[in-house]
């Protein structure tokens, strides 16, 4: 295990509800949109669509983006992560090869995960929880935890306040 860096998961209601999963790599957040949200069940592989990098200053953003039919964002989880890399391989190189293993130390997401590129589609990845002491078969972490770890609000409560 190597570098300690920030990760964040933002629950994002835009045209559809999804979770933005972000890992701090090379001074920016590498980002994936996860339509069904992350899972702690190793038998569940979640589609993760690669999106544009985001600035680290976006780490604690909660609120509405845009004025007409706003897109709503809460911080669903955050913490730090350790990259699990072969000696001499960077996280960027691992992503370019199509697989990155890491250990999350968050408030809701903990333990070892992998991002694995789906070969047939340019943006498609899978977020996979690896078998470890933090794995929870049959437990839906996105149903169990609905609120922001910063404000305590749900997306619905945020929507009523804007």
149 pLDDT band (50/70/90 cuts)?
very high
Taking the complete model, does pTM exceed 0.85, yes or no?
yes
Identify the helix (H) or strand (E) that includes residue 118. Answer: none
pLDDT value of residue 88: 78
Q: Residue 36 burial by CB count (10 A; 0-12/13-18/19+): exposed, middle or buried? A: middle
Residue 130 per-residue DSSP state: P
* Three-class secondary structure assignment of 50-116: EEEEECHHHCCCCEEECCCCCEEEEEEEEEEEEEECCCCCCHHHHHHHCEEEEEEEECCCEEEEEEE
Residues 95-136 have pLDDT tens digits of 999 999 999 999 999 999 999 999 877 899 999 999 999 999
Q: Is the pLDDT of residue 31 over 90?
A: yes
1 pLDDT band (50/70/90 cuts)?
very low
Q: What is the mean pLDDT of residues 21-49?
A: 97
pLDDT value of residue 135: 97
* Residue 18 tokens, joined: 């999804």
Report how far residue 23's alpha carbon sits from residue 131's, in angstroms, rounded to the nearest whole number.
21
Report how far residue 76's alpha carbon sits from residue 94's, in angstroms, rounded to the nearest whole number.
26
Residues 45-57 have pLDDT tens digits of 999 999 999 999 8
pLDDT value of residue 65: 81
Q: What is the mean pLDDT of residues 124-152?
A: 97
Residues 60-95 have pLDDT tens digits of 999 888 766 678 999 999 999 999 988 778 999 999
Judge whether 46 and 109 are in contact, CB under 8 Å.
no
Residue, of 121 and 44, whose pLDDT is higher: 44
């Amino acid at each position: 295990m190597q570098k300690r860096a920030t990760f964040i998961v933002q629950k994002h209601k835009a045209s559809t509800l999804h979770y933005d999963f972000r890992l701090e790599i090379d001074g920016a957040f590498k980002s994936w949109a996860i339509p069904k949200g992350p899972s702690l069940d190793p038998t569940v592989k979640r589609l993760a669509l690669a999106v544009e990098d985001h600035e680290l200053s976006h780490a604690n953003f909660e609120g509405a983006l845009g004025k007409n039919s706003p897109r709503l964002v809460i911080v669903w989880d955050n913490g730090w992560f350790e990259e699990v890399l072969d000696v001499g391989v960077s996280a960027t190189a691992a992503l370019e090869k199509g697989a990155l293993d890491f250990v999350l130390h968050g408030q809701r997401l903990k333990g070892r995960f992998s991002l694995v590129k789906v070969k047939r589609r340019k943006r498609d990845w899978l977020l996979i929880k690896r078998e470890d002491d933090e794995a929870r078969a049959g437990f839906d972490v996105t149903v169990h935890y609905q609120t922001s770890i910063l404000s305590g609000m749900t997306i619905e409560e945020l929507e009523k306040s804007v």
